[in-house]
Amino acid sequence: MIRLNVFITVSSENRAAYLEIAKELVAASQKDAGCIAYDIFESSTRPEVLMFCETWTDQAALAAHEAAPHFTSLVPKLSELGQMKIERFEF
């Protein structure tokens, strides 16, 4: 299994737009083959910090997700609105 924790720093001006796009990405990604879990979380102590938490069965499922139309169209929009840092864990 592969777990990705994607930490995002987003300004207060971009936060609402970011969350709107992020929720669309989450809804589509949860339907991808090999997706065990996919959600976005908001920090309760730092309003500028969000986090995607993703769990995939294997690298093939993650690669298919990263090639999917919802990923290739929405992630660039998210990248324009905030800065992302990815942590990857395999278990």
Q: What is the pLDDT of residues 1-55, one digit of tens each?
A: 999 999 999 999 999 999 999 999 999 999 999 999 999 999 999 999 999 999 9
Instruction: Give me the pLDDT at residue 91, please.
Output: 94
Alpha-helix residue ranges (DSSP H) falling in 1-91: 12-29, 59-67, 69-81
Helix (H) or strand (E) holding 58: none
If we measure between CA atoms, which residue out of 42, 17, 30 comes closest to residue 70? 30
Q: What distance in Å separates the CA atoms of residue 29 and residue 21, rounded to the nearest whole number?
A: 12
